[in-house]
């Protein structure tokens, strides 16, 4: 069976091809984060939603005309990497471009689910090419609560804030008294590289905009932990700690610092209550009293009974919402 879906977008074929292939554009409608080596035989790795990472290779890359990919889901026995193909063709029209996507190599049941997914994302492609912003993606919400799924869901929120913030607000003061935006970005990247190293996969941070840096570093840190798993202990800051506890730092870093960046520059941050509540429980396990030294964390701020879950999380880390 195959999925065969199309959408009309109001931009030319060359620009449409860019929306399909450039990670910075893909993050605005389809991906949380991802990498793509855009040449025949090149590999791609796309974190599309929490616990769902598509991987494969490029079979065809014809700017303005066609993109074909071998396609599968990491860790999925039903549609493993290399088991199916996605072929996207672009047809110029008087008003823009018709995008046709054909996904082959699926069973009847698999085709049904993938048809729904591709329809969802092609509608978001039309929205982003029409309005410039596809908005938060409901597919990026947290499903089953666990540390790495929460990290992926909160990374999506953090990247959306950084995209809205832009690249020229480095001097803005954050709610962390000692940190400007640039300082906080450096702290976050240091945390990501340290946590990836604790999982056995250190990486060198890339240059670029704040969004580009965190997109790459966040993806690599999560990949390190997915490869390692959450069993046993790891060494972090010269201490042996349970691996699951260490991995739980990631979603706290992404969501709390998303709030910090947003507050510093006056943009919105939105997270659903399920994710906020789960990360608050992680924070209660991880932020020990000795960490409340006025530098790492301040004392917990008391909030009223009507406070929302995000406000409670922010208050628990010592910040005033």
Percent of the chain scoring above 90 in pLDDT: 93
Q: Residue range 202-228: average pLDDT?
A: 97
- Give yes or no for a contact between 52 and 32, defined as CB atoms under 8 angstroms apart: no
Burial class (CB in 10 A: 0-12, 13-18, 19+), 2: middle
Give pLDDT, residue 12: 98
Give pLDDT, residue 320: 84
pTM of the predicted structure, to 2 decimals:
0.96
Instruction: Give the model confidence (pLDDT) of 173-190 as tens digits.
Output: 999 888 999 999 999 999
Instruction: Give the model confidence (pLDDT) of 226-283 as tens digits.
Output: 999 999 999 998 899 999 999 999 999 999 999 999 999 999 999 999 999 999 999 9
- Give yes or no for a contact between 218 and 192, defined as CB atoms under 8 angstroms apart: yes
Give pLDDT, residue 167: 96
What phi and psi, each to the nearest 5 degrees, are found at residue 31?
A: -100, 150
Give pLDDT, residue 260: 97
- Has residue 296 got a pLDDT over 80? no
Instruction: Give the model confidence (pLDDT) of 32-69 as tens digits.
Output: 999 999 999 999 999 999 999 999 999 999 999 999 99
């Amino acid at each position: 069976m195959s999925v065969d879906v199309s959408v009309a977008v109001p931009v030319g074929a060359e620009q449409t091809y860019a929306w399909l292939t450039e990670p910075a554009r893909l993050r605005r409608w389809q991906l949380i984060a991802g990498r793509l080596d855009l040449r025949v035989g090149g590999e791609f790795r796309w974190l599309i939603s929490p616990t769902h990472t598509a991987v494969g290779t490029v079979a065809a890359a014809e700017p303005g005309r066609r993109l074909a990919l071998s396609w599968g889901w990491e860790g999925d026995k039903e549609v493993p990497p290399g088991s199916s193909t996605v072929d996207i063709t672009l047809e110029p029209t008087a008003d823009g471009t018709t995008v046709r996507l054909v996904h082959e190599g699926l069973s009847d049941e698999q085709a049904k689910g993938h048809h729904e997914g591709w329809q969802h994302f092609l509608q978001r492609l039309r929205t982003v090419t029409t309005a410039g912003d596809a908005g938060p993606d409901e597919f990026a919400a947290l499903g089953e609560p666990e540390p790495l799924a929460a990290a992926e869901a909160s990374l999506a929120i953090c990247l959306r804030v950084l995209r809205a913030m832009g690249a020229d607000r480095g001097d803005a003061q954050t709610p962390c008294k000692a940190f400007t935006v640039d300082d906080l970005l450096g702290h976050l990247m240091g945390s990501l590289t340290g946590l990836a190293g604790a999982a056995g996969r250190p990486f060198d941070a890339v240059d670029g905009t704040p969004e580009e840096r965190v997109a790459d570093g966040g993806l690599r840190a999560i990949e390190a932990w997915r490869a390692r798993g959450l069993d046993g202990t790891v060494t972090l800051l010269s201490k042996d700690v349970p691996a699951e506890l260490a991995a739980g730092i990631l979603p706290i870093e992404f969501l709390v610092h998303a709030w910090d960046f947003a507050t510093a520059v006056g943009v919105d941050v939105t997270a659903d209550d399920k994710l906020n509540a789960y990360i608050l429980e992680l924070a209660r396990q991880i932020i020990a009293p000795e960490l409340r030294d006025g530098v790492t964390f301040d004392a917990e701020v008391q909030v009223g009974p009507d406070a929302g879950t995000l406000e409670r999380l922010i208050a628990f880390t010592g910040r005033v919402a």
